[in-house]
Every structure is written in structure tokens, then in C-alpha cells.
Amino acid sequence: MSDTRSGRTPWHYWVVGVVGLLWNSYGPFDYTMTQTGGDAYLRGIGMTDPQIAYMHAMPVWMTGVWAVGVWGALLGSILLLARKRLAFPVFVASLAAFLVSLIYSYGLSNGAAVMGDTAWVMNAVILTGCVFLVWYSRMMAKRGFLR
């Protein structure tokens, strides 16, 4: 899988890094557009009036959690590509923020009812990606590919 003795970076490292960067670029874009584009942006991505109202009712602390999650994921991807050990704890922070957002959406608010069944699928995909990047960055750090 890799050649740790020669210090060569395995091919999959760059694939995971680039795909992770591309994947994690959408969250900050969506966050920024939601904060600056308002209802027009939300309608443009297919949200209904009740879903838009749900977004407006989101408490400030939850907006902060969302920011930590998406910007942390982007920063983690950049750090991973830069071969920095800090990628691992940044990905952990991003995952923790995502888990808090799930608790809010499905336990502390009516997010599940408002957002519908497709949100479950998307959240499962996002969770899988977060867990994978935490695992992968830890594995690459243990193998000495991150400094």
C-alpha cells in the first residue's frame, strides 16, 4: 500500500486529498451563500418555504457549529494536502461539529420533519465522508506521511 522506508507518498494519498478538497469545498460555499444570498439562494437550490423558515429559525450557536463543521473540513483537507499532522485534529473538530448539528436537527428541533427523507441520505453520506477523513488522516499521521 505504501513504502514508508523510502518515504514515498502513496498514490491514494493524493487521490484522497484532492477528492477531499473538492468535496469539502461545497460546504463553505453553501454556508457563505446561505448567509449572504438569503432566500433567493435557498429557493434556487430547491428549498421550500417551510425549509427556508427552518433555516431562519436556526439559533446563532447552531450557525457557529455549522461554520466550524464546514470550514474545518475545508481546512483539514488543505492541511492533509500540505502533509500537516494538524489535519487529524481539525477533521475531528469538523466531525464533532457535524455530530452536534445532527443532534440539533434530529433531536432538538423539527429538522427531520421539515427537511424530509432525502436529508437522511445526504447526512449519512456526509457522516461517512467525515469519519473516513478522520480515520485516513490518523492513519497517514501514524505512518509518518504527515509532519
Q: For residue range 35-71, what is the model confidence (pLDDT) as tens digits?
A: 998 899 999 999 999 999 999 999 999 999 999 999 9
Number of structural domains in the chain? 1
| pLDDT, position 67 | 98
Report residue 65 as a C-alpha cell: 457549529
Q: Say whether 7 sits in a helix, a strand or coil.
A: coil
Q: Which domain holds residue 102?
A: 11-142
- 117 vs 114: CA distance, rounded Å: 9
- 70 vs 66: CA distance, rounded Å: 6
In a domain, 1, yes or no: no
In a domain, 28, yes or no: yes
Where do the DSSP E strands lie in the chain? none
In a domain, 86, yes or no: yes
In a domain, 2, yes or no: no
In a domain, 6, yes or no: no
| pLDDT, position 5 | 47
